[in-house]
Amino acid sequence: MLELNNIRAGYGKRQILNGVSLTVPKGKLVTVIGPNGSGKSTFFKSAAGIIPILSGEILIDGTKAADLSRSETAKKIAYLAQGKSVPDMTVFQLVLHGRFPHLSYPRRYTEKDKRLAIAALEKTGLAERAEIPLSSLSGGMRQNAYIAMALAQDTDYILLDEPTTYLDISHQLSLMKNLRELAKEGKGVAAVLHDLPLAFTFSDIIAVLSGGEITACGEPLKICKSGIISEVFGTKLNYSEAESCYYYKY
Amino acid sequence: MKRLPKYCSGKTARIKTLYLAGAALVLLAAFLGILLGSTPLKFSEIINAAGEGFSSTAAGRIFLYVRLPRTAASLVCGAALAVSGAVIQGVLANRLASPSIIGVNSGAGLAVTLCAALGIYGGWRLSLFSFLGAFGAVMLISLGSRRWGASRGTVILIGVALSSFFNAISNAVVTFIPDIGVMSNDFKVGEFSGVAYQRLIPSAILILITIVVLFTLTNELDVLSLGEEGARSLGMNTSAMRTLFLMLAASLAGCAVSIAGLLSFVGLIVPHAVRRLSGSGSSSLLGLCALYGGAFVCLCDTAARTLFSPYEIPVGIIMAFLGAPFFVFILIKGKGGHGDA
């Protein structure tokens, strides 16, 4: 499991996270929710080793992340950033670069790497678009291409920062089903989401991050009934037992 | 087991065609570069001279001491500046960046001027100092833009200011020591007349080595173009890799400047055109930039010495005529720096 213990992190002198702890077990989908500026992205960046932590400890399957090199961490944790560039390359080339941490200089992708990239493309429905430049994809498809790259990275843990951005509702649902599928395959999946009904419907664990601290963490229904959502977001989230779904009450 | 699709090789039919066309263009440019000039040569004269010894005939001497080094220099410098531009644009994630625009060439030009003031006019020391000048400039831009969080447009403006600053120092040196013979108009706009093997060979060797090294790092350049977070998430030490790429780009630009002076716009026009044609990753981009950059400069140089024959104009003038409108075109189209110029 991926254990984040008492993490303090920030940018320069500005501390954003004030001792955040969370566990991402293998086989589970954990979703972090919280208002804008609560530190969700900073938390994921710290967990993936993108930014250094000020204090605390990150354990990947019992091994201290601090003892691992950057590429060793990248073999364990795939991280999908919120803002992504549009480099000059084809969809297949982007997805293939998911295999980058698994190779050493001079990095030449093997047939196995290429087959894993093709499998990731098929899983995300992009196999037919493998040859076209990334720049000619729509925002949603580009998002899918980046998700395929994270899949090709073939890690035990996947962290996705707002992966549903740019996706229409049908693609959002398809993505969430894919994330559930990945968790079912034994990967530990964590995502930052803003759509609460979507997050509560598909996740095994919900963590509420507010003001740089985890204010609640647990099963979705328990969190929904706890009243923490109204406290943090000022909006009530309800659960309909008749329809087995979550909805906002304005 | 099912065969891998063709696109997995990275060399699509389009890329292969572009490589073939580029190679043909280089051959054509070299052929024209050697045969055309104020004294046109015939192919048969060169073949005959090869049999009798190049120094024995006038055509042989022109070929060996004028046209061959000049054509080789234009091919090598064009390839170096185009590849350097492609690398700098990738590393700084800014399509408007090129060695001449962000002050890299001027940094190398300052180093060449100081070398001349110290009596160094060729050889390895000149190449080394040119590289140091270019590297100093590109590192100033890179570190400054990251430290101040400069936008892509601001990076270009900082580069323009830096370029003017370096040129001002170079001009001041020449004002105080007018006999050193550099920072002439020809040097400022770039030219290949009078290129000697002594100046060409060390820089050409360094350029070739650098391009070969860059070809082994194309996946790294691709990953770096995913942005800071994207590259780090794939396990890359981005600071070290960025510095390495800027060193290699500076080596290319510095060596080119030590041969030809401050050639402008090659590093901007060629990578842009190649990107539009290939739309592929760094592997194809660098290879095609080397071919088309070399051919472009060689053809421009041939035009520079034949258009107004027997008068010759510096090749930089021809390239600026083509490059300046192209630069404006990129700005207007808003494509520079991913639409954030």
Please tell me which of the candidates B12, B233, B281 has its beta carbon nearest to residue A81: B233
User: Over the stretch B41-93, which tens digit does the pLDDT of each residue have?
Assistant: 888 888 888 888 878 888 889 998 899 999 999 999 999 999 999 998 888 88
**0.90 exceeded by the pTM?**
no
User: Over the stretch A196-228, which tens digit does the pLDDT of each residue have?
Assistant: 999 999 999 999 999 888 999 999 999 998 989
A contact residues 150-169, partner B, Cβ 8 Å cutoff: 153
Substitution target from A41, A43, A51, A89 for chain B, most B beta carbons within 10 A: A89
Q: What domains does chain A contain, in order, with CATH numbers?
A: 2-249 (3.40.50.300)
* Tokens found for residue A19: 């001792």
Q: Model confidence at A119, in pLDDT bands (50, 70, 90)? A: very high
Residue A75 has pLDDT above 50, yes or no: yes
Substitution target from B234, B237, B275, B277 for chain A, most A beta carbons within 10 A: B234
Given this model, what pLDDT does residue A117 score? 94
Give the phi and the psi of residue A105 in degrees, each rounded to 5. Answer: -60, 140
Averaged pLDDT, B318-333? 80
Q: In the 3-class helix/strand/coil scheme, how is chain B assigned residue by residue?
A: CCCCCHHHHCCCHHHHHHHHHHHHHHHHHHHHHHHCCCCCCCHHHHHHHHHHCHHHCHHHHHHHHHHHHHHHHHHHHHHHHHHHHHHHHHHCCCCCCCCCCCCHHHHHHHHHHHHHHCCCCCHHHHHHHHHHHHHHHHHHHHHHHHHCCCCHHHHHHHHHHHHHHHHHHHHHHHHHCHHHCCCCHHHHHCCCCCCCHHHHHHHHHHHHHHHHHHHCCHHHHHHHCCCHHHHHHCCCCHHHHHHHHHHHHHHHHHHHHHHHCCCCCHHHHHHHHHHHHHCCCHHHHHHHHHHHHHHHHHHHHHHHHHCCCCCCCCHHHHHHHHHHHHHHHHHHHCCCCCCCC
Closest residue, chain A, to B338 (C-alpha): A86
In a domain, B59, yes or no: no
In a domain, B8, yes or no: no
Q: Model confidence at A72, in pLDDT bands (50, 70, 90)? A: very high
In a domain, B159, yes or no: yes
**Residue B159 Cα, gap to closest chain A Cα (Å):** 23
Residue B30 has pLDDT above 60, yes or no: yes
Residues ≥6 apart with Cβ < 8 Å to A226:
A216
- The answer to whether A114 faces chain B, any CB pair under 8 Å, is yes
User: Over the stretch B244-287, which tens digit does the pLDDT of each residue have?
Assistant: 898 899 889 888 988 888 888 899 889 988 988 887 788 889 99
Averaged pLDDT, B236-244? 87
Averaged pLDDT, B19-30? 96
Averaged pLDDT, A72-85? 89
| Bridge partner list, A32 | A192, A207
Residues ≥6 apart with Cβ < 8 Å to B3:
none
Averaged pLDDT, B81-108? 87
Range of the domain at B311: 69-333
In a domain, B341, yes or no: no
Contact B288, B102 (CB under 8 A): no
Please tell me which of the candidates A72, A106, A114 has its beta carbon nearest to residue B8: A114
In a domain, B204, yes or no: yes
User: Number of folded domains in chain B?
Assistant: 1
ipTM (interface pTM):
0.89
**Cβ–Cβ gap B5/A69 under 8 Å:** no
Q: Model confidence at B337, in pLDDT bands (50, 70, 90)? A: very low
In a domain, B240, yes or no: yes
Give the phi and the psi of residue B296 in degrees, each rounded to 5. Answer: -60, -50
Given this model, what pLDDT does residue B336 score? 45
Spatial CA neighbour of A150 closest among A202, A108, A101: A101
Which range is least confidently modeled, A77-86, A137-146, B121-130? B121-130
Residues ≥6 apart with Cβ < 8 Å to B266:
B77, B78, B81, B82, B85, B98, B100, B293, B296, B297, B319, B323
In a domain, B3, yes or no: no
Residue B340 has pLDDT above 80, yes or no: no
**Cβ–Cβ gap A131/B7 under 8 Å:** yes
Which range is least confidently modeled, B142-156, B291-305, B324-338? B324-338
Domain of B186: which CATH number?
A: 1.10.3470.10
Average pLDDT, whole number, for chain B?
A: 85
In a domain, B4, yes or no: no
- Which has the higher per-residue pLDDT, A166 or A48? A48
